[in-house]
Amino acid sequence: MTAVDTQEQIRASAQAAAARVAPRLSRVLTSGFLGKCPACGEGSLFRAYLKRRDACPCCGESFQGLDADDGPAWLTIMIVGHVVVPLLYILETRAELSYPVEAAILIFVTIALVLYVLPFAKGLFISNLWWNERKPG
């Protein structure tokens, strides 16, 4: 057995081990979207509304350094904007409401959607960061 054969065997066994351990991107993103650990899919990703845990309570996977920064806010603005702007158009063209009533509806819908979407977006971004830092190869 030559040194090249040994290196190929080591490389092949490392790739096989990584393939067994590395989860699929779709499962990782789904787990993050649902606020679960991207590694095991069971532990909670957040300890409070938007506070990331330091590690998974189930598998112990560290989340240190996985800071989503402005990504979740950007995604949330994009999603909420695509809902609120058509609603504004509908209220302006089809409804016979006064401006204060329209403003109250739009403000309520915007705040509710932002508060609802933001944790999903943050979990999605954190799980994507986790996958990008830990994927094989």
In the chain, where the domains are located: 22-134
Q: Is the pLDDT of residue 19 over 50?
A: no
Q: Which helix (H) or strand (E) holds 117?
A: helix 99-134
pLDDT at 111 (0 to 100): 98
Q: Are 72 and 83 in contact (CB under 8 A)?
A: no
- pLDDT-based confidence at residue 17 (cuts at 50, 70, 90): very low
Q: Which of 128, 41, 112 has its CA nearest to residue 79?
A: 112
Percent of the chain with pLDDT over 90: 63
Q: What's the Cα-to-Cα distance from 75 to each of 35, 36, 44, 96, 125, rounded to whole Å?
A: 16, 19, 21, 32, 9
Q: What is the spatial distance between Cα 95 and Cα 115, in angstroms, rounded to a whole number?
A: 26
pTM of the model: 0.78
pLDDT at 84 (0 to 100): 97
What are the pLDDT digits (tens) for 104-126? 999 999 999 999 999 999 999 99
Q: Is the pLDDT of residue 136 over 60?
A: no
Q: Is the pLDDT of residue 13 over 60?
A: no
Q: What is the spatial distance between Cα 68 and Cα 98, in angstroms, rounded to a whole number?
A: 40
DSSP assigned state of 48: S
Write the burial class of residue 35 (CB in 10 Å: 0-12 exposed, 13-18 middle, 19+ buried): middle
